């Protein structure tokens, strides 16, 4: 019997669908994100935050904890911190 797939080099989609305990290489699903408030203030937050995160300038609630991943308010815009810093480096 011949195995069709390469077990040493799984595809990205295969890694995402497997349980975190059965993965070949462990990786975190949490990340740092940039949340933009209605007042155009940027806040750097943790995606699995366990506390309520308000805006530093206007005080509006940006994220609320929901057990696992924090829920982001509908009026806010979200971008991953990696993309934000890559975009900022490209402007220089």
Q: Which of 83, 81, 76, 75 is nearest to 31 (CA)?
A: 81
Per the structure, how many domains does the chain have?
1
What's the gap between Cα 86 and its chain centre? 15
Please report, for the domain that includes residue 79, its CATH number: 2.20.25.100
Residue 7 maps to a domain: no
Segment (H or E) for 17: helix 12-17
The tens place of each residue's pLDDT in the chain, 92 residues long, gives 677 777 778 788 887 788 877 777 777 778 899 999 999 999 999 999 999 999 999 999 999 999 889 999 998 988 888 888 887 777 65
Domain annotation covers residue 54: yes
Decide if 37 contacts 59 (C-beta within 8 A).
no
Please give the pLDDT value at position 92: 57
Residue 35 lies in a domain: yes
Is residue 86 included in any domain, yes or no? yes
Residues constituting the chain: 92
- Domain assignment present for 9: no
């Amino acid at each position: 019997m011949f195995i069709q797939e390469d077990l040493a080099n799984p595809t990205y989609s295969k890694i995402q669908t497997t349980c975190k305990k059965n993965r070949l290489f462990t990786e975190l699903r949490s990340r740092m994100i940039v949340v933009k408030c209605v007042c155009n203030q940027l806040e750097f937050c943790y995606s699995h935050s366990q506390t309520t995160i308000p805006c530093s300038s206007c005080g509006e609630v940006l994220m609320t904890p929901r057990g696992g991943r924090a829920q982001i308010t509908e009026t806010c815009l979200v971008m991953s911190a990696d993309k934000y810093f890559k975009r900022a480096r490209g402007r220089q």
